[in-house]
Amino acid sequence: MKLVFASNNVNKIKEIQQLVPSTFEIISLQDIGCFEDIPETADTIEGNAILKANYVTEKYGYDVFSDDSGLEVEILNGAPGVFSTRYAGEPKNDDKNIDKLLQDLKDKSNRKANFKTVICLNINGKQLLFTGIINGTIIEERIGNNGFGYDPIFVADGYSKTFAELSIDEKSKISHRGQAVKKLVEYLKSKKIN
């Protein structure tokens, strides 16, 4: 079955393709001729996931799933949250975002955080949401070269390595996105949608 994944983020598409069974053909926004930036103007992670999925369904008529993710830091009242990719401003830059977060956490002893992903699925006229959350800690300096975003400074609870030290397979098994995608896939399999 074909499903549009409302993303042009090559890293995310790679991660998703690793997680989804081969019975599902994941096609990107480029594959359907969508080259515009889909507005992400909601003030919640859930809201942005819904905006992206609805945009594709309304404008292109496809069954689609979209995701939005964010890093929520307890002592910063959930920031950067919905603003995770643009925390240090425009243009978005992972290194500058990490620098800003580390500066904001300087001298703070509470470094608890979580990554949260919400997937919105629009299929057969229905809309469903699937959420994945992984708790962890923000360390004081970057370690590792894999992954993207805040991966070099996030260590999941129960682990000693950052997300950036894990392989895609290792990260996918435990990550927020991995959890949400697993719920999505279980739903699709249970409905025998085709």
Q: Tell me how far CA of residue 75 lies from CA of 37, 86, 99, 113, in angstroms.
A: 32, 19, 17, 8
According to DSSP, the β-strands at 25-27 and 112-123 are unpaired
Residue 175 sits at φ, ψ, to 5 deg, of -70, 160
Q: What residue type is 133 in one-letter code? A: I
Q: Tell me how far CA of residue 55 lies from CA of 51, 106, 116, 129, 132, in angstroms.
A: 6, 39, 22, 16, 23
Under a CB-based contact definition with an 8 Å cutoff, are residues 151 and 172 in contact? no
- Rounded Cα–Cα distance for residues 144 and 86 (Å): 22
Please confirm, yes or no, whether 68 is among the known catalytic residues: yes
In the set 31, 43, 67, 68, the catalytic residue is 68
- The catalytic site residues sit at 68
